Amino acid sequence: MSKKPNIPDTSIELRRRAEARLRGRLSKGGVRKSAFETVRVLHELEVHQIELELQNAELQEARNRSELLLEKYTDLYDFAPIGYFSLDEQGRILEVNLTGAALLDVERSYLIGRRLWSFMLPASQPLFLAFLKRTFAETGKQVCEAALLKKDTTIFWCSFHGTAALSTNGPRKWCRVAMSDITSLKQVEEAQRRMEVLSIAIRSLKREIVRRQAVEKALKKSKKHQADLLQQSHRMQEQLRHLSREVLRAQEEERKRVSRELHDVIGQALTSINLRLSALKKDAALDPKSIEQNIVHTQQMVEQSVNIVHRFARELRPTVLDDLGLIPALHTFMKSFTEETGIRVNFSAFAGVKEVSGDKRTVLYRVVQEAFNNAARHAQASRLDVKIQKLGGGICMTIKDNGKGFPGGRVLRAKKNRRLGLLGMRERLDMVGGHFDITSRPGKGTTVIAQIPLPGHPLPERTDTLSR
């Protein structure tokens, strides 16, 4: 910026004073000075003029520097990248640069005297007032952030840095506050916060997906297990229905057999006894000597009938099982079985089996009875080994024959009426919480295993061979 140099007022005043002094000197002399004196005075005036011109040039240079400094100060203050405010204790604006006015989108002249916190959102006003109070009360720089509102209702964030200042015009307090727009920073922080929230949500979603996948997998597994259980239940229900029908049929067959035996054997024996008694009545008058022989023969027939009735009773329910216990009942049964079939039996048991309760005792007896009958009918065995021992929390009874055996899957492919005995053994063991197992190989015999729990010691879950 270039300006015309103007003669300063001080230079004019100096010239006026110099001319007045010269006139005074001339008037005092009263006579005309010599030519030499005139030359000296002119020289002095010229020197003085040169001095004045040098002083004027220096003053002009100082003025130019001042104007340049003022221009730089104005540029630095008004056009700074941040807003500068001078505020009093109530937050009124005493001075503001152009950048500060531009940030608020208000004319600078309109801002003077207005409270800066009036441009802030209500939520930020208490924070700014507390910041202003700290600025005047404490030394050092104070900082705060606040949300402001422009005339067009645009919300923006600013950061305030304040320091207290001393007034040069009196005791009035004021402070300097620098205001910078941090809206972009806030947006970045908000975006980062949202990203963190989104990241947390994504991680939570991934965990939920993994959990739901695990639940879905467990549900599929549970569904398959339930389907297997349902299928097994249907199969067992079918087996139970078949077993019930077969039990009823077997009961009817047993009733027929007992009825036939009673009719054919006991009935004939009793009829023969009746005829013998009638004959004795007639022979008593004719031949008294033959009465004793006929009575003996009749007694034999009565004893034979009683033995048959006892055999039926033992087959239906052996009284020795209830009166003496499992071991004597098994010894009696095995002795009778060996006499009838010729199959040798080897039997051993531990002493604690005597303490087995009535239901479990009956189950073990019936399993032995059914296994022996199967060995006699189908296995073509010559020896049976029976062993009862304590195993873990239960009793394990093993019945092994040396018969011809059968393939492992044959028991499952056999006709249902031929599986009745095996199903009956398994059902009896299930009733007392026991397990049933049967293994067989061609030429290697058959082994039946029956396990029952002792009181307070339930057996672990397992799947027996018959149900697989």
Closest residue by Cα to residue 100 from 173, 27, 181: 181
Per-residue exposure over 373-402, b if at least 16 CB sit within 10 Å of its own CB, e if not: ebbbeebebeebbbebeeeeebbbbbbbbb
Residue-wise pLDDT tens digits, 85-131: 999 989 999 999 988 898 888 888 899 999 999 999 999 999 999 99
Closest residue by Cα to residue 350 from 392, 319, 396: 396
Backbone angles phi, psi at 413, to 5 degrees: -90, -5
CA distance 21 to 353: 156
Backbone angles phi, psi at 169, to 5 degrees: -105, 5
CA distance 416 to 467: 13
CB 437 within 8 A of CB 409: no
Supply 66's token pair: 């001042």
The sign one gets for the Cα dihedral 224, 228, 229, 231 is positive
Please tell me the predicted confidence (pLDDT) of residue 177. 93
CA distance 254 to 424: 15
CA distance 129 to 90: 8
Supply 3's token pair: 């300006």
Supply 196's token pair: 């963190």
Please tell me the predicted confidence (pLDDT) of residue 73. 72
CA distance 322 to 332: 13
Q: What is the pTM of this model?
A: 0.42
Please tell me the predicted confidence (pLDDT) of residue 416. 46
pLDDT beneath 50, residues of the chain: 1-7, 30-31, 409-410, 412-418, 463-468
Please tell me the predicted confidence (pLDDT) of residue 304. 73
Give all strands (DSSP E) within 318-374, no chain letters: 344-349
How many other C-beta atoms are found inside a 10 Å radius of the C-beta of residue 366? 16
Please tell me the predicted confidence (pLDDT) of residue 70. 73
